[in-house]
Amino acid sequence: MATLCRPEVAVPEYIVTKEDTLKLAERLHAGNPQLKLVLRLITSTGVQKRHIVQPLEQTLEHPGFEIRNKVFEREAKRRVPPVVRRALANAELTAQDIDAIIFVSCTGFMMPSMTAYLVNTMGFRHDTRQIPMAQLGCAAGAAAISRAHDFCAAHPGANVLIVACEFCSLCYQPTDDDVGSLLSDGLFGDAVGAAVVRGSGGTGVRLERNAAYLIPDTEEWISYAVRSTGFHFQLDKRVPGTMKPLAPVLRELVARHGWNVGSLDFYIIHAGGPRILNDLCRYLEVPPESFRYSRATLTEYGNIASAVVLDSLGRMFADKPMLEGAKGVIAGFGPGITAEMAVGSWVTDRSQRKDGARPTAVA
């Protein structure tokens, strides 16, 4: 069985607080007739602060799509490698032990993919498989975990590196002043995350089953309008209600594995917003505390897109030690409307020798 090891997540040094966001909305959109509604919605997200890759005033400028994408590439190349190194260390592996790299992002574009840069600069083998995923939005983090699981099942003993790089602030559009856009301006943050899925050994979540589901005829509910000015995020007001049709799908996946979704030991859920978490708690009949790791991510970092599940997982690893065999679920939601889901149980690597040496990695 493949094991998802402890993730690493890093956020940029520039901070935007909730108070900053509210003041900006009042200053920049004073004439918007729906401003009071927007301020109320931003406050209700529970987001206290977010981190961005550039100073706030620079973020508010729009130098053009080309320059913004150059910023994405520059910052990705600067910020991703340190996170990758720490994720490899967490898994007790080196770059040479990795057989595939899955790179996910929906906030910038690079070709060749960031995977090529990592292979050429960080010591990965030149036969490492490259698996870039660009268009699953917030669902991509959970999707990457499932695709890594699938890869390890197809290639026993293989190890897969997952990297999520989301600079949502580079998608800010100063001319977009509809309710959905303004709410997004107060919800999304920037982050880089990485984790290793080991084909054998390792301590973490043993991945046992995964599934995906797309709600029919909802592909326009979360989308990008790609224009000369870049990516314009579009959010339908019906999106917060999508947990009603998705909760039964999640329940069925867990039931097929012989478990009860209402009595699991851990839940790692994409923190798209407070209503998503609250509704899913209600439909799955679990207490709000069950989603505490996801809520902490939302409060401290905002919605960091595909990196959310990695950060929430990292918080779980950092919390009190899990009991051997503890059962849980990982789920991400994004454009489509798409749900990517996985179930697994906690496993502790018993192969660590008493003298402190780690076992030889399987590549």
Residues 86-98 have pLDDT tens digits of: 999 999 999 999 9
Q: How confident is the model at residue 271 (pLDDT cuts 50, 70, 90)?
A: confident
Q: How confident is the model at residue 355 (pLDDT cuts 50, 70, 90)?
A: very low
Span 307-329, mean pLDDT?
A: 95
Span 225-250, mean pLDDT?
A: 90
Is the per-residue pLDDT at 162 higher than 50?
yes
Digit-coded pLDDT (tens) for 143-158: 999 999 999 999 999 9
Distances (CA, A) of 295 to 277, 313, 318, 341: 8, 12, 15, 18
Angle of helix 292-301 versus helix 308-318 axis, rounded to 10: 120
Task: Give percent of the chain with pLDDT exceeding 70.
Answer: 96
For the chain, residues classed under CATH 3.40.47.10 are 3-198, 204-347
Q: How confident is the model at residue 261 (pLDDT cuts 50, 70, 90)?
A: very high
CA distance 308 to 142: 9
What was the pLDDT predicted at 314? 97
Least reliable range by pLDDT among 53-57, 118-122, 357-361: 357-361
In terms of CATH architecture, what is 3-198? Answer: 3-Layer(aba) Sandwich (3.40)
CA distance 309 to 266: 13
Span 29-37, mean pLDDT?
A: 90
In terms of CATH architecture, what is 204-347? Answer: 3-Layer(aba) Sandwich (3.40)
Task: Identify residue 329 by its one-letter amino acid code.
Answer: V
What was the pLDDT predicted at 359? 35
Is the per-residue pLDDT at 142 higher than 80?
yes
Q: What is the pTM of this model?
A: 0.93
Digit-coded pLDDT (tens) for 177-221: 888 888 888 899 999 999 999 999 999 999 999 999 999 999 999
Mean pLDDT score of the chain = 92
CA distance 137 to 129: 22
Place of tokens 């600079």: 167
Active site residues: 138
